[in-house]
Structure 1
């Protein structure tokens, strides 16, 4: 339930219960003005869209496990852009067999790497739609929860307005983004948020979004682009953030211009991926290579 009130000339939108765990997406569509921005304070709210399938009847062959049939509303996914399974916090990569696809001679045909050939942390689908995976090196078979993102590419938090500050929310296990911002939005600000273990990006700004992100943690997201991916003509800044363990780059920028300041980046195969003619200004960042 949301409580809306006007106080100290600022529109405050806040939740009644602190530490709320929410199992459905959150859409924010009521913004304020430049002088009086709306504020949504989650007060520690956790939005976890994951579906725990640990106790599913898995066929176990050492480190390779296969579901006993497909999961309802979860057909085989052909696009390796996003993770379709998590072992606790760890996102799993879709593994396509490109040689088999070429040999098939069928346009658009998707073949997946055979179970025995999977690398740790990879998944594929059988012809019947069952999912199979090889346990990641970080986890031992049978010792961690197995989590499916929700159906229908839901994001945890969708911001559909301008002049809004969103703070103190943790977004977990979305099929799409943890925090998703589309449209001609300006004056968007994220403070003290966490975007963890989402199928696509942790945070992603699109179109002409102008957004500032402060004191965020962005980690273990499954996008093939980055933990952050800001695109189109977006203008964004990231300050005092911690970015780590995302499958691809820490930050992937197309967009218009971006600034990354005083952030800590660690356990990343790549720090920045710059696409198109995006401009990046960075200063005071710390890279940890452990």
Structure 2
């Protein structure tokens, strides 16, 4: 499972180039796109060594790939951009290979999800000090999308969404229901017109409509974690102190987190400070 660049062609790895050259065949989301990518790196593969495995034929085409692997061939799978099998096709192919007792090897590389997370600054403020939820593409129908947003409204962690340019305004309007929750839009990552911008959810639509280019390109949309209010933090501290007077640290921290909803890691650090001060 071989990651390819999401934009900038220099983001290919040396290992990926080596494997693409050695592979007996390359399974790919779009054979034409992959052929152009290979030529950009000076790799020449006959068209009969490129196998179309995409969302519309993945279940059937996976069996053909499995048969080639069982015959001893080396097969690399690439999606059009980024790491396959996450939001792009590839997961069914992996499942079929594993079911046949075959080994699947990851070749890491570009990913729009981790690229956007690395520059949004949201993880530092997540409950328990980190973590995120990958939700991918939300439903396209208005009512279903609104219901999905309402479910995500209660998710305290950072939430990662993906969206296409022709639907980004619809998503922005749905996210407006989240009010002042911070949202980062990462557009055209690694490309010439890359843009990363953070706004309150209620203002996303206005910002996108502020300039024509802002609705162009593929989007990663990150809902920042729900911030802990100062009064909530003070209440959690009071509960923690009461529990520490009667219980061991781990038990007190667990109960305080369950009662108040405060991040467990932060409560544990606070508990240690309280114990050191006693």
**Shared fold per TM-score greater than 0.5:** no
- If asked which structure has higher relative contact order (CA below 8 Å, sep 6+), I would say 2
The structure where strand makes up a greater share of residues is 1
So what's the TM-score if we normalise by structure 1? 0.23
How does the TM-score come out when normalised to structure 2? 0.24
